[in-house]
Amino acid sequence: MPPTTSPIVARLEEVAKSYSGQSVLKGFDFALEAGSVVALLGPNGAGKSTVAGLITGRLAADAGAVNLFDRDPRDPESRARMGVMLQAAGLPEALTVAEAIDLHAGYFKRRLKTRDVLEQAGLSALAKRRCDKLSGGEQRRVHFALAIAGAPDFLVLDEPTTGFDPDSRRAMWRLVRDKADAGVAVLLATHHMDEADALADRIVVIADGRIIADGPPAAIKAKVAGSTIRIRTTLSPAHLQMLPGASKVDQRGADTAILTTNARATLEALFGADPALTDFEVASASLEDALADIIANTVKEAA
């Protein structure tokens, strides 16, 4: 095991960062513990990538302290314990997958064997393929391979599955899960709620440069009303909003979703109001609903 002096992998204290006068983060505090998988969740422009950029040392904070393994994030010693998958990253086109991995792994003394990296990233069959002959999803797997090549204690993944089909997303999630199960801490910046739900044991929701929710996925979901009722009805949204327990109504065409704190009371009232109602479905609120609700409430409070 590497020398670990603190269970904190990365820490931001009172950090401020602005771009050309536009404040992105202000008095931002955040700590990531060894072995944990933390998802930074939030709409585009909320500050997720800025947080990831500060931790990886790509960006410098205007004020406050940023630490990575108790050092400056620009210190090669702390960088050597971190693997990064950037949001937009090309590959050396003329090198083969194995050559690209071998070159990158060579920056780390504690590197994995190229053969093992290929296997762990599900790339063994593509080892001799040139990087410019790969599909988008395959390239993304090579980016993941580069991130794990140095046997890091900490992985930073910025939108690892954007543009993926469902099968490749689940395959990528499995790769990340394997690393997390092996004790690697993960910081996952994403705007996909299902991704955070599938991987993270802690979700940090960022909006407007501050943390508006922080906790395990279950706690984030519990922050909003318990269930979603899906129906097809002729009743107006205004009417539905008045139903007992209903906290939010979302209508898409003929399909309506009602977020409720008391599914039973809402349903009973619904049957009374719309005798034609036959098809309905009750599910516990999705993380997506929870998030939308949290952000909407925060914005309301701020206004």
Partner 1 sequence: MSTLVAAAPGVYVREASAEVIKSARTPQFIIPTIVLPPAFYALFALGMGNGNIEMATHTLATFGVFAVMGPALFGFGANVAGERESGQLELKRISPMPAGAHIAAKLVATIVFSVIAFAIIYGLAVFAGVRLSPGQWAMVTSVHVIAVLPFALIGLGFGYRLGQKGAIAIANVVFLAMAVMGGLWMPVAVLPEVIQTIAWALPSYHLGELALMAVGQSDAANLWLHAGPLALITLAAAIFAWTGQGRHAA
Residues that bind partner 1 (CB under 8 A): 2, 56-59, 76-77, 79-82, 84, 86, 88-95, 99, 102-104, 106-111, 130, 146, 150
State the DSSP code for 253: T
Minimum gap (Å) between residue 81 Cβ and partner 1? 6
Minimum gap (Å) between residue 80 Cβ and partner 1? 4
**234-243: long-range pairs with CB below 8 Å, 24+:** 234/274, 234/276, 235/270, 235/273, 235/274, 239/273, 240/270, 243/269, 243/270, 243/273
Smaller CB separation from partner 1, 7 or 92: 92
Minimum gap (Å) between residue 213 Cβ and partner 1? 29
What six digits make up the tokens of 295? 């952000």
Q: Sheet of 82-85: strands edge to edge?
A: 82-85, 154-158, 185-190, 37-41, 202-207, 210-215
Spatial separation of the C-alpha atoms in residues 167 and 220, rounded to whole Å: 26
Provide the β-strand partners of residue 40: 189, 204
Smaller CB separation from partner 1, 76 or 253: 76
What six digits make up the tokens of 108? 């780390």
CA distances from 226 to 195, 217, 272, 279 (A): 21, 14, 22, 20
Smaller CB separation from partner 1, 80 or 294: 80
What six digits make up the tokens of 215? 């906790």
Smaller CB separation from partner 1, 188 or 291: 188
Minimum gap (Å) between residue 146 Cβ and partner 1? 7
Minimum gap (Å) between residue 204 Cβ and partner 1? 21
130, 165, 194, 157: CA torsion to nearest 10: 10
Smaller CB separation from partner 1, 89 or 171: 89
Smaller CB separation from partner 1, 42 or 83: 83
Minimum gap (Å) between residue 70 Cβ and partner 1? 14
Beta strand 246-252 pairing with 154-158? unpaired
User: Could you give phi then psi for residue 227, rounded to 5 degrees?
Assistant: -135, 165
Minimum gap (Å) between residue 140 Cβ and partner 1? 12
Spatial separation of the C-alpha atoms in residues 186 and 178, rounded to whole Å: 11
Minimum gap (Å) between residue 111 Cβ and partner 1? 7
85, 86, 91, 92: CA torsion to nearest 10: -100
Smaller CB separation from partner 1, 68 or 270: 68
Smaller CB separation from partner 1, 59 or 123: 59
